[in-house]
Structure 1
Amino acid sequence: MVLAAAGAHAQQPPRPLAVAAVELEPITPENVRAVCDLRVAPGQEHLVAPNAVSLAEAYVYPQAWCRAVRSDGRLVGFVMLWDSPEELGHMLWRLMVDASAQGQGIGRQVVAAVADHVRAQGVGVLRVSLVEGEGSPAPFYRSLGFVPTGEMADDEPVYALTLWTSGPAAPCRVPLRSCE
């Protein structure tokens, strides 16, 4: 982005490529309002449901596994997993990073943590469905190793990440670098 400064053009400093490790914490009475107050960047609203809607859905679906995301002690996001071997399988249902924390590798770390959670249950595949079109997160998920399955979920294409290739002890291969 180019900013005008006293008649001259100056570039905005780049965001850091690395952030403190993220922590996933349960949704509690102490953090629920702050989770609901998080917002994606303008123009991304059509890509993910508001966190309040996600929490309402989690209330009626016992398969929902929800966590608030913190980095450096600051609440920066929300993640929800369909955590069941039946029906949809283990599917990353919602992932949102607050506009103020985007571009810092937080989403990548959250996906790695969720993949570890799924792999610890002896499951070898994590799936996600996503909105296509302008601003789609498809390039982000492809950069993590997710590939299209040809399936559709609620009119959205499904992508899958293989969590191991030679047995449950193999490590998750989600790279922890910043996505562009």
Structure 2
Amino acid sequence: MEHIVRFEEITEETVLDAIRLSGTLLKGQERAVASNAVSIAQAHFAKNAWFRAIYAGDDMVGFIMLDFTPDPRMKDVKHASMWRFMIGGKYQKMGYGRDAILLLIEYLKAQGYEKLFTSCIVNDPSPLHFYLKLGFVDTGEWDDDEKILMRDL
């Protein structure tokens, strides 16, 4: 499947663009996701983190970060957790978020992953319905004030 977005490593030349992208979130959304600056810093100290900028053409439109630390409860099921995901405010409602998740699913499936987890707040504004439309299901579990969702790959 051809995608309108792609993942690119964040470099010395693009890190400030990634950090500034957090400032474009729509009103209230900054409560739903940590800033990209915090995420990039955490990723550099987390041994199983993977993070990328999301591009559409020449424009950085978003940020994604995964954690590949195995959860012992999952036993032999190969899984990943989407730790952070955001699309810049002026790029929302253009299909970039949906396409980025579909690209991620293809990427993980090609590596033999079976499940993808994420979590989100449920207060407005919440990305819950976005995730549910993409096939995530409510696990019934919570991580502090965030609902844990899972998608079979």
Cα RMSD of the aligned pairs, angstroms, is 1.6
Q: Which region of structure 1 is more displaced relative to structure 2, 79-88 or 43-52? A: 79-88
Determine the structure 2 residue equivalent to 1:103. Answer: 93
Q: Where do 1:1-180 residues align within 5 Å?
A: 21-38=4-21, 39-86=24-71, 89-163=79-153
Q: Which runs of 5+ in 1 are unaligned?
A: 1-19, 164-180
Percent identical residues: 38
Shift of the alpha carbon at 1:134? 1.1
Number of positions where the alignment pairs a residue of Structure 1 with one of Structure 2: 144
For 2:104, what is the secondary structure of its paired residue? helix
5+ unaligned residues in a row in structure 2: which ranges? none
Matching residue of 1:4: none
Cα deviation code 1:120-163 (max 9, x no counterpart): 22111111110111111000000001000112224311111111
More helix by share: 2
Letter in 1 for 2:95: G
User: C-alpha distance in 2, partners of 1:23/1:118?
Assistant: 14
The alpha-carbon deviation at position 119 of structure 1 amounts to 1.4
When normalised by structure 2's length, the TM-score is 0.88
Whole-angstrom CA distance in 1 between matches of 2:68 and 2:59: 26
AA matched with 1:121: Q
1:10 equivalent in structure 2? none
Question: Normalising by the residue count of structure 1, what TM-score does the alignment of the two structures yield?
Answer: 0.75
Q: Distance in 2 between matches of 1:104 and 1:53?
A: 26
- In structure 1, distance between residues paired with 2:56 and 2:105: 18
* Separation (CA, whole Å) in 2 of partners of 1:135 and 1:151: 20
Larger Rg: 1
